[in-house]
Amino acid sequence: MTNLSSFKQAAALFGEPARAAMIWELFDGKPVSAGDLAIAANITPQSASSHLKKLVEAGILKVQKQGKHKYFVYANPEIAVAVETLSNVFSKPKEINLSHAQREVRAARSCYDHLAGLAGVQVTEALLKKGLITDHPDHLKEFSVTLQGISWFKELDIDIPQLAVAKRPLALKCIDWTEKTPHLAGGLGAAMLQYFLKEGWFRKVYQKRSLLITSKGEFELKQRLNIDLKG
């Protein structure tokens, strides 16, 4: 299949309104049932089943079974990067008069399984400034981890050599849809958010994508990366 053929197929799958709604519903990485996806897309369960079959066959979604129940998730993390990138195409520039909920989402949120929003961008820029990551010399959409970075991430219990040999790309650039600049994704981005949550630097907000930074997180990020995420 040529690149043009692949693009046409992806555009047709993502562009259908009901499928787009279901794909967006899965953006936070949580497995969702076909019934709940049908509700999110405002279509019948029968219609949802047909759409979901196409998305699974195309490799966009995959099925997770829990007992007798079936749930759907993205087939791989790179789908989330594609969704985030597409959401940037027609999104409006930064707004001044944002609602409280919009400000929360912009401040810090999960983008599938990595940190996004202003917090994600600031962390990424600080990693670049400290020379812990750098632009990849051969791949425009990726970062490279420096030798200094390998040691620094080890302090966070993140094993860069181990992540580097995994099937998933190590450090992808994911264009943030509110900040219009890259935040760190890939295996490293996921490992960092997992560490932040485990250590209590950030907390998840129930049934929301937004994240709350804790006082511990503010202190640690100030000490380690010299960034201030208050407010």
Query: What pLDDT score does 207 carry?
Result: 63
Element holding 65 (H helix, E strand): strand 61-66
- Kindly tell me the burial class for residue 6, based on how many C-beta atoms sit within 10 Å of its own C-beta (0-12, 13-18, 19 or more): exposed
Element holding 216 (H helix, E strand): helix 215-225
Query: What pLDDT score does 81 carry?
Result: 79
Q: What is the CA radius of gyration of the chain?
A: 18
11-35 confidence digits (pLDDT tens): 888 889 999 999 988 887 788 999 9
- Residue partners of 16: CB distance under 8 A and separation at least 6: 51
Q: What is the pLDDT along the chain (231 residues), one digit of tens a residue?
A: 567 888 888 888 888 999 999 998 888 778 899 999 999 999 999 999 999 999 999 999 999 988 888 999 998 888 887 887 787 676 655 555 555 566 777 889 988 889 999 999 999 999 999 999 999 999 999 999 999 999 999 999 999 999 999 989 999 999 888 888 999 999 999 999 999 999 999 998 866 778 999 999 999 999 999 998 765
DSSP state at residue 172: B
φ, ψ dihedrals at 100, nearest 5°: -60, -45
> On the CB side of 165, how many CA atoms lie within 13 Å of its CA?
3
DSSP state at residue 210: B
113 touches 28 (CB < 8 A) = no
Query: What pLDDT score does 95 carry?
Result: 53
- Domains of the chain and any CATH numbers: 3-75 (1.10.10.10), 100-225 (no CATH)
Integer Cα distance of 43 and 99 in angstroms: 29
Integer Cα distance of 142 and 139 in angstroms: 6
What ranges make up the beta strands (E) of 67-124? 69-74, 109-111, 114-116
Beta bridge partners of 37: none
